[in-house]
Amino acid sequence: MIIEREWSLSEAARMLGEPQHRLIYLCEKGVVIPDFGEAKGRGSSRRFSARNILEFAVALKLRELMMPVTAIAAINHVMRELEKLVSREIPGFSLPRSLQKSNAPELRIIIGDGPKLHFSLGLMDGPPRIFGGLDLTGLISREKGGRGSGLKKLSSSHALTVDETAAASKPETAPYKARLEVNVTAMARDLSLKV
């Protein structure tokens, strides 16, 4: 059994080279939900997992690219679902640990023309598998309110699966007019996590 290490807010901020208030903002907006403890008032603190640190890194990069926080929250939420799906096919797969190995799969977030979200997972034994095809706007509700309320739960109609149509059209080479791609594997390798 692997005992997961926890990081405090100040440790996470130092590791990412970001001020604590930026990380607090991402938590309050539901972009990153601490795996080990949410602040519940004065004197309590948030505690983060290695996955949370990677979620922060992805969120901070997407914010640099001017993506709205509600869309980033949806992406992090779907990335957790992707982790569950891939772990059924690759036993022991976990974020970010599995992306930090020398023979790690290449995981990329791809947002092309329109609001569709895809993940590309490149394995050693063939072309990348494409997951998703989810409509980001369909995952973000118009409701206002408390932490994370802008996100809808993934329902069976939003199920994250291998996207056969995207795989057939090869989204990694499709002639997009606009495309945003984030290399999650490179981000995971850049993190100096002692897990």
Task: Give the mean pLDDT of the chain.
Answer: 80
Least trusted range by pLDDT, from 11-15, 84-88, 122-126: 122-126
Domain that holds residue 153: 7-190
Which is more confidently placed, 52 or 163?
52
CA-wise closest residue to 27 among 49, 6, 14, 46: 46
How high is the pLDDT of residue 59? 97
Number of folded domains that form the chain:
1
36 within a domain of the structure (yes/no): yes
pTM of the model: 0.82
Cβ-based burial of 6 (10 A; exposed 0-12, middle 13-18, buried ≥19): middle
* 59-89 per-position pLDDT tens digit: 999 999 999 999 899 999 999 999 998 998 8
> Does residue 195 sit within a domain?
no
Q: What percent of the chain lies above the pLDDT cut of 90?
A: 44
Question: Is the residue at 2 inside a domain?
Answer: no
Range name among 15-24, 33-42, 88-97, 126-135 with the lowest pLDDT average: 33-42
Smallest CA-to-CA distance from 191 within 4, 11, 16 is with 16
- Give the tens place of pLDDT for each residue, 94-119: 999 999 988 889 999 998 777 788 89
Please report which confidence band the pLDDT of residue 136 belongs to, taking 50, 70 and 90 as the band edges.
Answer: confident
Determine, yes or no, domain membership for 53.
Answer: yes
CATH code of 117's domain: 1.10.1660.10
